[in-house]
Chains A and B, each alone.
Chain A
């Protein structure tokens, strides 16, 4: 079976000599298409480093990474920018919408980056905003939206270019429990209905009930892993 994310023995070392820090010490994980996958762990456990490696923002020191069938670091220097643009969507703790663009324009942006312009891009953005329940706020600037609405627009932006993988970093941390659970259910629905592999980094144990699989990191290693829910796939 082809995995959306397949990471083998990922190692990341920062600095050298006395300042050498081994942030990841050989992490293995696989995420299937349509799966909602959680990475947990305390601060300094390597969650952020893992997310950056999976998001192609930084390169691992060692290990193998296959995203959507592409063995990223095997053979030549990869065009990480292009791969990131085409294969990965990001959701941050804060929505991080561009403040001078409307909700719709924020969703159009990643489409324009892959060469989809004009009406096609706008229609796609509206479809997503509608899907996430914020279509009526499409022409508002982020400052006019609530925290929950901002996060939904951010999810729409992450999905706009139909990436196979979405990486979410503490997507519920800035929301209260109810809105946080609502956001996680939304991600769950997106994963199920669209077949997108969603990897969520979180330390919010209340949200664990919504994910399919979870691993716990500690000191740069996977210290615990397992299936959380046995739920039927959509």
Chain B
């Protein structure tokens, strides 16, 4: 006779509402873990998906995603001939925006209204107005070299300079949609997925040259104004003052202003078996550049830009885990103590300890396992509705299951030890 199952069937409402409570609490614990994993993935995706072993940047700069790095575009030729380098690809990347927001979905409207309500006492009027511009990271690469979209989920990739874009699907663009960037309209020809910056802004890909035009070429009005000012410096009275400097200065200023052959980084793929350290040393030595292995580049983002948010979330998660453990332990503890009369009766009838323990521990385990399954399913089902990436793995759920088994067994044994100490005849009214 399976006492545990019979008891559960009899107290099914109480048992399953307790399981649901445990499941909802575990869903939150799993979700916060998924949020942390999402931040980590967002911080590393571009770097890992690019497939580069080394990132070459301007001397004394930390990297293209951390600080502004500018190096001449043609340096990649010099890097590519260093022994051990299989491929070097010049890349530009920067935050851009378009004056367009996708039509908000009901979920986005809900999230916005929720934020508005929950921050009402924290902000000044206008601070929480719905944004009108959409931010993203524009990456320019040479088609056929590393640095482009790793996967195309719809449409096609970019083959040549033709004012075309591949966008992460989170940007909300449709295939064929025209997007104004800089002074040209670009056509979205392909969609990729999960390519976001560490800020979770989606990535748009275009060719290197067109990205350079968008990101580096100054505004024409500003250019005209600067040229006019340089010409004014050539007036006779000015010329009389510094005759020798004026013309070269104007020439240099104009050339700098119009030169777009600058990149932010060169992504380097090594030949199989090549030593990353040796190649990096060579590049540093000959080109006076800085070089970072891919893991270091990820580290710069995780422990740089995202350091505090990661610390904050991890601390919150640790608190949540402790609180959830205590609450779930108490649920199981009180659920067990509610059976003190049945336990006392079994004790008086001479039931073997293992039988009493079996009944209680089986129920606690079932509660823990079902709670974890419910929590895992609810968390997985809710992931798409979070505004940023939330990614929980089966490994996370497995870890939670092990933790829950430990909590369930400990809580039930603690409760049982207390229940076994009671004076059974008194409990039974003797």
Contacts and interface: CB of A to CB of B under 8 A. Distances in A.
Interface stretch (B74-82, B298-306, B344-352): B344-352
Contact residue range for chain A? 20 to 34
Interface string B350-366: 11110100000000000
A100 B6 contact: yes
Interface residues of B, number: 22
Interface stretch (A1-9, A79-87, A188-196): A79-87
Contacts of A90: 348-349
A96 B425 contact: no
Given A105-B6, A169-B430, A52 B425 contact: yes
A100 B353 CA distance: 20
A105 B350 CA distance: 16
A112 interface: yes
Contacts of B352: 81, 113
A113 B428 contact: no
Given A100-B7, A101-B6, A81 B425 contact: no
A73 to B, nearest CB: 17
Interface of A: 48, 51-52, 55, 57, 81-86, 88, 90, 92-94, 96, 98-101, 105, 108-110, 112-113, 141, 169-170
17 contacts: A48-B425, A48-B430, A51-B430, A57-B348, A85-B350, A85-B351, A90-B349, A93-B430, A96-B428, A96-B429, A98-B3, A99-B342, A101-B6, A105-B6, A109-B1, A110-B349, A112-B1
A101 B348 CA distance: 17
Contact of B351 (A55, A113, A141): A113
Contacts of A48: 425, 430
A100 B9 contact: yes
A83 B348 CA distance: 11
B353 to A, nearest CB: 8
B341 interface: yes
A98 B342 contact: yes
Given A51-B430, A92-B430, A93-B430, A169 B349 contact: no
Interface in B348-405: 348-353, 355
Contacts of B1: 101, 105, 108-109, 112
Given A52-B425, A55-B425, A82 B350 contact: yes
B426 to A, nearest CB: 8
Interface string B319-343: 0000000000000000000000110
Contacts of A109: 1, 349
Contacts of B350: 81-86, 88, 110, 113
Nearest to B342: A98
Contacts of A51: 425, 430
B424 interface: yes
Residue among A83, A84, A96, A113 with max Cβ neighbours from chain B (10 Å):
A96
B11 interface: yes
A113 B10 CA distance: 21
B430 to A, nearest CB: 4
A61 B131 CA distance: 82
Contacts of B428: 92, 94, 96
A82 B342 CA distance: 19
